Amino acid sequence: MGAAAAALIAGMSGIASPASAATTPGVNLDLSWTGTTNVYDKSPIKYTFTVTNTGRVSAKTTTLQWKYQEPVQPKAPTDGGYVNLRATAPKGAKCSVDTKKHIATCQLGALAPGATTKVTWTGTADMKGNLPRGLDGSYVMNVQSTPTDTATNNNSFTGGWGISEPR
C-alpha cells in the first residue's frame, strides 16, 4: 500500500498545499511519513518521518514528537501497542521515548531552507493479551521549530492504528 493510500485509510489530516509552502517568508516545516497502521501481534513496525524546511529562514531548533498511543478504545489504556521503540536519526539528533506517556521525541537541531531530515522509528506491535478483539488506538505527530513556524497547516498528522491476531 502506498503512503497516499495509507494516509487516507488512517484518516490523516494536515497535508499542505504547494501554494502555502512557496509563499511562507519564515520557517515552514513540512512533515510527512510512511509506515503501516494495521499490523499483526508481535510483528515489527516501522515509521519514517520526513521533515523539510520549505520556508526561506533556517529553523534554529527542530523538534519532532510522536504521541503513538492515545487511550485505547473501548478498554482503558494498557501497556500494549507499540513497544521496544528505537530511533534511527541523523548524527547529532537526540531521540528519546517516554514509555509511560507513549511519546517519542527527537530534537533534530537546525534545519536550513530547502533541507530535509528523516527519523525512522522501529519496534514491535504488542496486543498484551487483548485477544481476540485486538488493540486499537490513535496517534498524533507534530513538528515544531524556533523561530516558530507560522504556516502550521503542514506540521501535524492524526490517525489511528490497529493490532490484530495473526491469521
Q: Which residue, chain included where needed, has cell 498524533?
A: 140
Query: Which residue range is the domain that position 90 belongs to?
Result: 3-164
Average pLDDT, the chain: 78
Number of domains comprising the chain: 1
Name which residue leads in pLDDT, 66 or 20. 66
132: exposed, middle or buried (Cβ count in 10 Å: 0-12, 13-18, 19+): exposed
Name which residue leads in pLDDT, 154 or 7. 154
Is the full-model pTM beyond 0.85?
A: no
pLDDT of res. 134:
72
**CA 162, chain centre distance (Å):** 15
pLDDT of res. 17:
39
Tens-place pLDDT, residues 61-116: 999 998 876 544 434 445 567 778 888 999 999 999 887 788 889 999 999 999 99
Name which residue leads in pLDDT, 116 or 12. 116
12 pLDDT more than 70: no
pLDDT of res. 161:
79
- Helix (DSSP H) and strand (DSSP E) numbers for the chain: 2, 10
23: exposed, middle or buried (Cβ count in 10 Å: 0-12, 13-18, 19+): exposed
Q: Which residue, chain included where needed, has cell 481476540?
A: 132
7 pLDDT more than 90: no
19 pLDDT more than 50: no
pLDDT of res. 157:
86
20 pLDDT more than 50: no
Residue 119 to residues 9, 17, 33, 126, Cα–Cα distance (Å): 22, 23, 10, 22
CATH code of the domain in which 106 resides: 2.60.40.1510
